[in-house]
Amino acid sequence: MSAAHAPPRHLRDALSEPPQADAAEGGPAEPAAKVPAPQPPTALSRRFVRYLVGFGVGVALGLAPFLGTAVVPGFVPLADLLPLTLQEQLAALAPVVMGVVAVAVQFGSESRISRKRLRRRFAVTLSVLAAGFVLLVVLQTFVVSEVAILGGDRTVRYAVGLDRPATCVCPPGLSDSECIIEELTLDPARVETCWGTGSVRRTELALTFSFLLVIGGFGALVGLVLLQEEARRRG
């Protein structure tokens, strides 16, 4: 074989290696032993991993119907009231908030908190939840534009601002929904350009904060109910 047509070096090396000897009695070679998956080294670390997965992944799965990532017939997810551009972000943030609430409830269950203190905390948490819910409703009403598509079969929402600037390409006579459909062609980037990046970002931040406040507050209320039952059981 001439040098011009010689096989690559790594192929020559492979061809020149001696064949592997068969196992005894002429049978095929034994397959390599499988390396066991690494495990946490101590009982405490194993419990840590179990708690980490439970409070993280388990809580996220429980939140799935509220975030719209799991469909429950007859149930409308709270996240459906928000713009599509926020829903993926909230699907990542909400489980973290609820996981922290779950850890706090578990920690509180190991302490002897009086029922009087639990009732006070319940009242404070309920007030915070109510404030977050009112804020979410106000924001959804005034700075979220709803647009019907597919002949009205579906509604999509966009984060906008309180007032449309004069620099927007849409004529003053058009409503926000008509502006988004006719002039901005349902493009979120063009909507942001029309209302201004700063205005849209502030709207999205306020919506995110109020949504997480509602979800976290609801989880805290449920946790306080559990702590109340635990306190009653202990007497």
- Quick one: pLDDT at residue 23? 46
The beta strand positions in 121-233, using DSSP E, are 144-149, 154-159
Centroid of chain to Cα 90: 5
Domain holding 166, by residue range, is 44-69+77-234
pLDDT of the residue at 202: 94
What per-residue confidence (pLDDT) applies to 78?
Answer: 87
> At 32, which helix (H) or strand (E)?
none
Does this model's pTM top 0.85? My answer is no
Residue 98 belongs to a domain:
yes
Amino acid at 29: A
Say if 201 falls within a structural domain. Answer: yes
DSSP state of 145: E
For 116, phi then psi, to 5°, come to -65, -45
Q: How many domains does the chain have?
A: 1
Cβ 210 vs Cβ 134: under 8 Å: no
* Regions of the chain where pLDDT drops below 50: 1-8, 10-12, 14-15, 21-24
- In terms of phi and psi (left: phi > 0; alpha: psi -120 to 50; beta: otherwise), the region of 2 is beta
Q: Is residue 123 part of a domain?
A: yes
Q: Which residues contact 59 (CB under 8 A, 6 or more apart)?
A: 95, 98, 99, 102
Residues with Cβ within 8 Å of residue 184, at least 6 apart in sequence? 169, 170, 190, 191, 194
Res 33: pLDDT = 61
On whether residue 97 sits in a domain, the answer given is yes
pLDDT of amino acid 15? 43
Query: What does the pLDDT read at residue 29?
Result: 59
What is the model's pLDDT at position 44?
A: 82
- 113, part of any domain: yes
Sequence-distant (≥ 6) Cβ neighbours of residue 133 within 8 angstroms? 210, 214
The whole-number pLDDT of residue 6 equals 46
* C-beta of residue 210 within 8 angstroms of C-beta of residue 129: no
- Tell me if 24 is assigned to some domain: no
CA-wise closest residue to 96 among 35, 55, 47: 55
How does pLDDT run across 39-62, given as a tens digit for each residue? 777 888 888 888 888 888 888 888
The CA distance from 139 to 132, in Å, is: 10
Smallest CA-to-CA distance from 161 within 130, 196, 211 is with 196
Whether residue 218 is contained in a domain is answered as yes
For position 209, what pLDDT does the model report?
95
12 part of a folded domain: no
